[in-house]
Chain A
């Protein structure tokens, strides 16, 4: 099992460009999450999907959109990137019977 995979690993964007971060899990988990991590700020929840077909805002959703494409895949889209969105983005997934979240390796995004 690959667990949680994320693409790309690194990305540099110019202000105003758009892009989609991809996340997939092969553990048959119902719930999936997108976090951003900034120095000294910990992990902040952007959006989550408790189950296929549902999505909800987290703590910092502004400037982002998500799509739960199917049970395996949960993508995060930046429509018009801003320097404030420079961050490390982590996707995570979770089985409904346990509390533990499994994290992907992260995408390091720089917006210039």
Chain B
């Protein structure tokens, strides 16, 4: 079945540093989604990418979808303590998603 791999598993940064998490799929994806889960909370949808090479920005967050639609990345510029949490990528069909294992981001103030 489809596998979605995400690295790194953990990332600790000083506040103000940048952060990037990478997602790779074993198969071509029709779309990729990103979710954020705060400690003790539930996953919350951030964004969806559909087109090859697509880049989307949300304030300090930049999301990219690879040209081959098999990889994606999330980059956070100048991290803040509010960015703490686990970031998941997920790919799949309209009915079913396969989630990566997530990257836990901690930020030292």
Q: Footprint of B on A, CB under 8 Å?
A: 31, 35, 40-45, 48, 50, 58-59, 90, 92, 96, 99-106
The reply to whether A58 and B9 contact each other, CB–CB distance below 8 Å, is: no
B96's contact among A40, A58, A103, by CB below 8 Å, is which? A58
The reply to whether B45 and A101 contact each other, CB–CB distance below 8 Å, is: yes
The reply to whether B96 and A45 contact each other, CB–CB distance below 8 Å, is: yes
Counting from the closest, the 10 A-B pairs by CB-CB distance are A42-B101, A43-B99, A103-B42, A100-B45, A50-B95, A42-B99, A103-B43, A99-B48, A42-B102, A106-B42
The reply to whether A105 and B42 contact each other, CB–CB distance below 8 Å, is: yes
A102's contact among B33, B41, B45, by CB below 8 Å, is which? B45
Query: B residues 71-109 with Cβ under 8 Å of A?
Result: 88, 90, 94-102
B95's contact among A31, A40, A105, by CB below 8 Å, is which? A31
B88's contact among A40, A42, A104, A106, by CB below 8 Å, is which? A42
* Minimum C-beta distance from A90 to chain B (A): 6
Name the prevailing secondary structure of the B interface residues.
Answer: loop
- Which residues from chain B contact A106 at a C-beta distance below 8 Å? 42
A43's contact among B43, B44, B48, by CB below 8 Å, is which? B43
Determine the residue in chain A with the shortest Cβ distance to B89. Answer: A42
Between A and B, 30 residue pairs with Cβ closer than 8 Å are A31-B95, A40-B9, A40-B101, A42-B6, A42-B88, A42-B99, A42-B101, A42-B102, A43-B43, A43-B99, A45-B96, A45-B97, A45-B98, A48-B96, A58-B96, A59-B98, A90-B42, A92-B43, A99-B33, A99-B94, A100-B45, A101-B33, A101-B43, A101-B45, A103-B42, A103-B43, A103-B44, A104-B42, A105-B41, A106-B42
Query: B residues 4-39 with Cβ under 8 Å of A?
Result: 6, 9, 31, 33
